[in-house]
Amino acid sequence: NRTYVMSTWLKDRPFLALEPVRKTAILTFVCNDLLQNKAVTRQIEQARETAATLKKEKWVLDAKIKKLQLMYNRQVRNEKAASQRAAVECRSPSINSHKELELADESGADELSGDESVATQPDEDEDRKLSSDEVHKKLDKLLKMSDAQLNALKKATKQLRAKCYGQDRYYRRYWSFPKLGGVFVEAAESCEPNV
């Protein structure tokens, strides 16, 4: 029996004193046994589903942030243009009628843009009624939610994978495991034959 042979290896010496081939055989056995465990596979599947759900939620949140940023920038630009027009109107009253026609054309173009989907129009109608300060507050709130979502996504993906930082000229790989802390070095050691 293979497991009995491995247990006899550990009776004579501790695990760290074994040859690399025997260490690898023991670790392979333990890993295969863990991967066949239902609780471990269930935990891995739940972590993958959680990461996928968090990614989808992050995409939706990022789309909302982009829309609010565009709306905020448009409102700020319109407010600046309105203040400039007011300053110009005070100076020359004959230009007023020409400017009013241009404003009517621009506002009509904004209302008739048909690129939005039907599902997002009610939110945009509510957001258009907001002042630029309220839009800015809502944008800040969504940005904080996005940061929290990103942290949760990083935490969920770290449960599944270790991070490889790369390798050096001696072909040693540097790893970071989320639960262990620190940097681990994987080196190709010379394997001595079993005695």
Q: Which mean pLDDT values do the consecutive 10-residue runs of the chain (195 residues) have?
A: 90 90 93 90 89 93 90 85 82 58 53 49 63 82 92 83 83 83 75 43
148 with 195, same domain: the answer is no
Residues 6+ apart with CB under 8 A from 118: none
The number of distinct structural domains making up the chain is 2
The residue range of the domain holding 166 is 162-195
Within a domain: 17: no
Show Cβ contacts of residue 154 under 8 Å, excluding neighbours closer than 6 positions: none
- CA 18, CA 195: separation in Å to the nearest integer? 11
Evaluate whether 139 touches 68 at the Cβ level (below 8 Å).
Answer: yes
Residue 59 is predicted with a pLDDT of 93
Are 139 and 182 part of one and the same domain? Answer: no
**Shared domain check, 41 and 74:** yes
Do 194 and 103 share a structural domain?
no
Same domain, yes or no: 110 and 126:
yes
77 and 145 share one domain: yes
User: Under 8 Å CB-to-CB from 51, ≥6 apart: which residues?
Assistant: 153, 156, 157, 160
The answer to the question of residue 13 being in a domain is no
pLDDT value of position 93 = 59
pTM, full prediction? 0.54
Give pLDDT, residue 120: 52
Shared domain for 68 and 139, answered yes or no, is yes
Two structure tokens written together for 50: 């959680």
Residue 131 sits in the same domain as residue 94: yes
Residues 77 and 116 in one domain: yes
Residue 86 shares a structural domain with residue 132? yes
> Contact, 185 vs 194, CB < 8 A?
no
Provide the pLDDT for residue 109: 47
